[in-house]
């Protein structure tokens, strides 16, 4: 075991940050760590690194004394040298530099007359062995390779790290962490300052590295590509799940359904008992009524399950229906200081209800085009015009349409002052503002909350064309999902600029790509046009892949590109063994599912015949039923996974 937390508890004054976090990090794993902003994800990393001490529970840290080489990346890390990019990247390996310097000195001494050559040679051998153990001969070349992959050109390696932009400094610190973490990598939001080529390289690296990896990330597509397990931190408590982000969501949904069913069943039972007590407490059956009241008093009440993960079904119909054409661009060109960023769009139409995504690398002109359409800046050539009955709303990353003097409720009420209070509260609930949230001042809202309120304001104003510039920037996953649900539920037209591939996959039905100073349009979403959107930077499918000597832990993870089918073999013994192994697993899983279904049927009959007033027996059976339902849900998932693996093995 590389590191672990056991029932970790930590508070800052009266605020409990971690209430009960348990996590074991083993070799050969890749963890995605998720949770809302402020849930304690970064705090967990700081505890593991010894930067914070627990108030309760235990921690096993990955230390150098235990022989564990750890690399840590966080966005608030700063360079420790004033040297070049390469020197800063290698700064953590000062001992390697010192050893290399000593080796050079010993080499010179060997040529000196009268020197004790045996003693010098003995020392040289020891220093060289230590140097090799620290990978001294390859560190410099590996550092350069990583920096190139993260977007640094050769001539930038000698540039002072203090002259870099904030994003470039972050990438240097990420390269440094990758170089250090030969046993364990702890990465806190590593994708925030990466362009698409660097992001794709990082995905490939994490899938191939032999180091154990733990990544805090809100990039769900990234987590789907690299994670083999998910640690969710919610309300100060942790829960571990096998699989990537999409598999986590499926399992979470199953758990919520089961928990809701048990909660509703208990609520029905409580209601029946309370009704019986009311009717009989003063009557002939008063003794039994008092007994039931005693049982209810001792009953352990189930908490109402949080439904934040559930997809909320709602719609935002247009206040005023537009014509079939929402927006037209004629010879539309944009740029700065008279220099166009791309060839003008000759005649481009966006239809009512269309969800168009604009994609491209940084600096290609995506946000600039959106600003010109919104009237924030002038077109260099041509222009845009709205369709019949179209009202446009522009979402910018600074949320300029929010009034800092308002509360959440006042912000929406101001749009339609005569609307009933319940109507405003119901509208806000669709954007995840409930209870005390509606009384929060705009000034104290998180970035994700402000983004949701900004879009809510636009929709409340009755717009039927939404322009959205990076609407999920700086959001946690919960807020991202709420934003996606909002866009999908909006019946008007949407134009969205985004780097979020998961959002692209969920909402876009058409894509405009800006690349190499020109634009190109395609129907379909991200999955239909993935290679085109990603600029075909994956491995050439004609290039043969090198066999790994040792299978990596991510062998089951989704590959970045489809692999060519292997040449047929006369008799594939390994394939036969694999097929037989999965056939056994499918059979075992089917047997287990059948047994659990039979046990559930038995306990359902027992519950129907049990006396609810005997809560000791009745409650035990309810608990047993809950445990069996949870076990059955996981057994069904295991059966599906085994069946899928068998089908793959048989191909």
Q: At 536, is the pLDDT very low, low, confident or very high (cuts 50, 70, 90)?
A: low
Q: How far apart are CA 116 and CA 109, in angstroms?
A: 9
Q: At 563, is the pLDDT very low, low, confident or very high (cuts 50, 70, 90)?
A: very low
pLDDT tens-digit series, residues 268-311: 888 888 888 888 887 777 888 888 888 888 888 887 776 554 45
Q: Are 154 and 274 in the same domain?
A: no
- Residue 377's domain is classified under what CATH number? 3.40.50.300
The count of domains in the chain is 5
**Average pLDDT for the chain:** 84
pLDDT over 50 at 566, yes or no: no
pLDDT over 90 at 633, yes or no: no
Identify the residue with better confidence: 278 or 651. 278
538 CB-contact burial (10 Å; exposed 0-12 / middle 13-18 / buried 19+): middle
Q: At 382, is the pLDDT very low, low, confident or very high (cuts 50, 70, 90)?
A: very high
Q: Are 59 and 203 in the same domain?
A: yes
Q: For residue 9, list its beta bridge partners.
A: 56
pLDDT over 50 at 567, yes or no: no
Q: How far apart are CA 158 and CA 506, in angstroms?
A: 43
- Token duo for residue 156: 């930038």
Last residue within a domain, chosen from 219, 243, 267: 243
pLDDT over 90 at 174, yes or no: yes
Tokens 């100060």, residue? Answer: 236
pLDDT of residue 203: 93
Radius of gyration of the chain (CA): 30
pLDDT over 60 at 602, yes or no: yes
Q: Are 273 and 379 in the same domain?
A: no
- Token duo for residue 179: 């170089």
Identify the residue with better confidence: 205 or 120. 205
The mean-pLDDT minimum among 77-91, 337-351, 565-579 falls in 565-579
Last residue within a domain, chosen from 533, 562, 581: 533
pLDDT tens-digit series, residues 449-471: 888 899 899 989 989 999 999 88
Identify the residue with better confidence: 589 or 34. 34
Which residues touch 26 (CB under 8 Å, ≥6 apart)? 1, 2, 212
- Token duo for residue 196: 């698409």
Last residue within a domain, chosen from 196, 221, 243: 243
Three-state DSSP at 157 gives coil
Residue 562 lies in a domain: no
pLDDT of residue 478: 80
pLDDT of residue 614: 66
pLDDT tens-digit series, residues 47-56: 999 999 999 9
Q: How far apart are CA 402 and CA 411, in angstroms?
A: 7
pLDDT over 70 at 570, yes or no: no
Q: What phi and psi, each to the nearest 5 degrees, are found at residue 328?
A: -130, 130
pLDDT over 80 at 551, yes or no: no
pLDDT over 50 at 571, yes or no: no
The pTM of the full predicted model, rounded to 2 decimals, is 0.68
Q: Are 391 and 499 in the same domain?
A: yes
Q: At 554, is the pLDDT very low, low, confident or very high (cuts 50, 70, 90)?
A: very low
Q: Are 423 and 496 in the same domain?
A: yes
Q: Are 509 and 435 in the same domain?
A: yes
Q: Are 208 and 353 in the same domain?
A: no
What kind and span of H or E run contains 269? helix 245-280
Residue 565 lies in a domain: no
Which residues touch 164 (CB under 8 Å, ≥6 apart)? 85, 172
Residue 568 lies in a domain: no
Whether 84 contacts 147, CB under 8 Å:
no
Q: Are 401 and 515 in the same domain?
A: yes
% of the chain with per-residue pLDDT over 70: 89
Whether 386 contacts 349, CB under 8 Å:
no
Residue 115 lies in a domain: yes
Q: Are 239 and 264 in the same domain?
A: no
pLDDT over 60 at 314, yes or no: no
pLDDT over 50 at 557, yes or no: no
Q: Are 192 and 291 in the same domain?
A: no
pLDDT of residue 636: 73
* 189-203, 518-532, 589-603 — most confident range: 518-532
* 165-174, 212-221, 390-399 — most confident range: 212-221
Q: Are 160 and 223 in the same domain?
A: no
Residue 482 lies in a domain: yes
Q: Are 362 and 449 in the same domain?
A: yes
% of the chain with per-residue pLDDT over 90: 38
Domain that holds residue 594: 573-650
pLDDT of residue 36: 83
92 CB-contact burial (10 Å; exposed 0-12 / middle 13-18 / buried 19+): middle
């Amino acid at each position: 075991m590389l590191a672990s937390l056991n029932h970790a508890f930590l508070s800052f004054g009266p605020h409990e940050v971690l209430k009960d976090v348990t996590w074991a990090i083993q070799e050969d794993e890749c963890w995605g760590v998720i949770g809302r902003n402020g849930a304690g994800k970064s705090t967990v990393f700081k505890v593991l690194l010894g930067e914070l001490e627990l108030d309760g529970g235990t921690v096993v840290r990955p230390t150098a004394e235990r022989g564990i080489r750890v690399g840590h990346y966080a966005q608030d890390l700063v360079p420790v040298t004033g040297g070049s990019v390469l020197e800063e990247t290698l700064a953590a390996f000062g001992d390697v530099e010192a050893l290399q310097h000593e080796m050079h000195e010993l080499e010179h001494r060997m040529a000196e007359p009268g020197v004790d050559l045996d003693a010098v040679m003995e020392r040289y051998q020891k220093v060289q062995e230590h140097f090799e153990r620290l990978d001294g001969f390859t560190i410099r070349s590996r550092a350069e390779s990583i920096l190139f992959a993260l977007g640094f050109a050769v001539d930038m390696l000698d540039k002072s790290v203090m002259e870099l932009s904030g994003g470039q400094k972050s990438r240097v610190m990420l390269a440094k962490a990758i170089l250090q973490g030969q046993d364990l990598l702890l990465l806190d939001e590593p994708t925030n300052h990466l362009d698409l080529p660097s992001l794709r390289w990082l995905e490939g690296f994490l899938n191939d590295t032999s180091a154990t990896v733990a990544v805090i990330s809100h990039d769900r597509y990234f987590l789907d590509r690299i994670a083999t397990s998910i640690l969710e931190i919610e309300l100060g408590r942790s829960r571990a799940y096998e699989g990537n982000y999409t598999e986590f969501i499926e399992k979470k949904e199953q758990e919520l359904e089961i928990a809701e069913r048990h909660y509703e069943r208990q609520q029905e039972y409580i209601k029946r008992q309370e009704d019986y007590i009311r009717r009989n407490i003063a009557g002939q059956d008063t003794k039994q009524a008092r007994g039931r009241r005693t049982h209810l008093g001792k009953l352990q009440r189930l908490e109402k399950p949080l439904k934040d993960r559930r997809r909320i079904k709602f719609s935002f119909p247009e206040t005023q229906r537009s014509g079939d054409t929402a927006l037209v661009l004629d010879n539309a060109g944009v740029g700065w200081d008279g220099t166009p960023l791309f060839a003008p769009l000759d005649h481009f139409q966006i239809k009512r209800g269309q969800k168009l995504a604009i994609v491209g690398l940084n600096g290609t002109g995506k946000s600039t085009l959106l600003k010109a359409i919104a009237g924030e800046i002038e077109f260099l050539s041509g222009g845009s015009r709205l369709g019949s009955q179209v009202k446009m709303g522009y979402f910018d990353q600074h949320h300029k349409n929010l009034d800092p003097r308002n509360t959440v409720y006042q912000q929406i009420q101001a749009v339609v002052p005569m609307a009933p209070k319940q109507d405003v509260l119901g509208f806000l609930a669709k954007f995840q503002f409930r209870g005390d949230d509606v009384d929060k001042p705009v000034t104290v809202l998180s970035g994700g909350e402000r983004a949701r309120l900004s879009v809510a304001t636009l929709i409340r104003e009755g717009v039927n064309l939404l322009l959205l510039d990076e609407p999920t920037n700086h959001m946690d996953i919960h807020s991202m999902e709420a934003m996606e649900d909002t866009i999908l539920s909006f019946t008007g037209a949407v134009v969205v600029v985004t780097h979020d591939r998961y959002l692209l996959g969920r909402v876009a039905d058409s894509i405009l790509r800006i690349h190499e100073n020109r634009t190109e349009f395609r129907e379909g979403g991200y999955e239909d046009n993935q290679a085109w959107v990603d600029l075909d930077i994956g491995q050439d499918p004609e290039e043969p892949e090198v066999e790994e000597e040792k299978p990596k832990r991510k062998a089951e993870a989704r590959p970045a590109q489809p692999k060519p089918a292997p040449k047929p073999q006369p008799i594939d013994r390994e394939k036969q063994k694999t097929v037989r192994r999965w056939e056994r697993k499918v059979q075992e899983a089917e047997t287990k599912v059948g047994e659990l279904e039979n046990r559930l049927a038995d306990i359902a009959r027992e519950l129907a015949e049990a006396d609810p007033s005997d809560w000791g027996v009745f409650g035990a059976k309810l608990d047993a039923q809950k445990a069996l339902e949870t076990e059955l849900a996981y057994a069904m998932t295991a059966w599906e996974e085994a069946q899928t693996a068998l089908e793959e093995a048989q191909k």
